[in-house]
């Protein structure tokens, strides 16, 4: 009886995470709509705020919780700062690239979440590899700001990013299935899924944007 209760409780908690994740995507979309009205001069300060919040989330992760206010504030600002990227690819590559990237993100997210949830294997061994790969991508992104890479190098980076965040989706769902957590951890887990989703989308956007070039 206790096992049935535990399974049901875990299912309810994972359902709460998915609801918070879906709501965070909605908040990000609202942020993107607001982004159409934000003066270009404010995008850099907002990106800095987003980066600081991301670092804060990384350190707060050790306490296993962030609040819903933090989650939705972060995703709202993320939506605003994502707008210029989406607008750029819409203008230079067309709406089809956006549709392909979004569809690809949905399919990969669905498949990898299913695999991560259904596999009987504990994927915690991927933690070190994924963190190293993520830090490498961050360093590449920072270097690219000051010393722009060639389009081919960025294309390769987008492929690596797609693989890394696809694996992160599988890893995060597997971790949720195997870990014991309470309602307090729901916002942080939803934030992890949001970061997986939005970064996968952006990497696929760069990937399809490169392929669409003549």
> Which stretches of the chain are DSSP H helices?
2-35, 43-60, 68-93, 95-118, 127-146, 151-178, 186-211
pLDDT, tens digit, for every residue of 94-107? 899 999 999 999 99
Handedness of CA 165, 167, 170, 175 (dihedral sign): negative
Indicate if the pLDDT at residue 127 is higher than 80.
yes
pLDDT, tens digit, for every residue of 1-30? 344 435 558 788 899 999 999 999 999 999
pLDDT, tens digit, for every residue of 130-184? 989 988 888 887 788 788 888 888 899 999 999 999 999 999 999 999 988 888 8
Angle at 111 between CA 107 and CA 115, to 5 degrees: 170
Residue 151 and residue 140: Cα distance in Å, rounded? 13
Number of independent structural domains in the chain = 1
Q: Which domain holds residue 114?
A: 2-211
Element (H, E) at 149: none
Residue 166: name the closest of 108, 214, 118 by CA: 108
């Amino acid at each position: 009886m206790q096992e049935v209760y535990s399974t049901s409780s875990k299912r309810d908690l994972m359902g709460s995470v998915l609801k918070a994740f879906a709501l965070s995507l909605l908040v990000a979309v609202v942020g993107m709509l607001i982004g159409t009205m934000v003066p270009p001069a404010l995008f850099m300060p907002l990106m800095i705020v987003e980066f600081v919040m991301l670092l804060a989330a990384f350190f707060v992760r050790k306490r296993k919780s962030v609040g819903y206010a933090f989650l939705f504030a972060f995703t709202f600002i993320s939506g605003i700062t994502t707008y210029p990227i989406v607008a750029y690819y819409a203008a230079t590559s067309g709406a089809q690239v956006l549709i392909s990237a979004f569809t690809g993100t949905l399919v990969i997210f669905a498949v990898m979440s299913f695999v991560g949830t259904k596999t009987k294997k504990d994927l915690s061994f991927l933690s070190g590899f994924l963190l190293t790969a993520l830090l490498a991508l961050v360093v590449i992104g920072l270097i690219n700001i000051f010393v722009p890479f060639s389009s081919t190098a960025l294309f390769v980076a987008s492929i690596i990013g797609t693989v890394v965040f696809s694996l992160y989706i599988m890893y995060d769902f597997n971790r949720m299935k195997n870990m014991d957590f309470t309602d307090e951890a729901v916002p942080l887990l939803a934030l992890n899924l949001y970061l997986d989703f939005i970064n996968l989308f952006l990497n696929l956007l760069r990937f399809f944007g490169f392929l669409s070039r003549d």
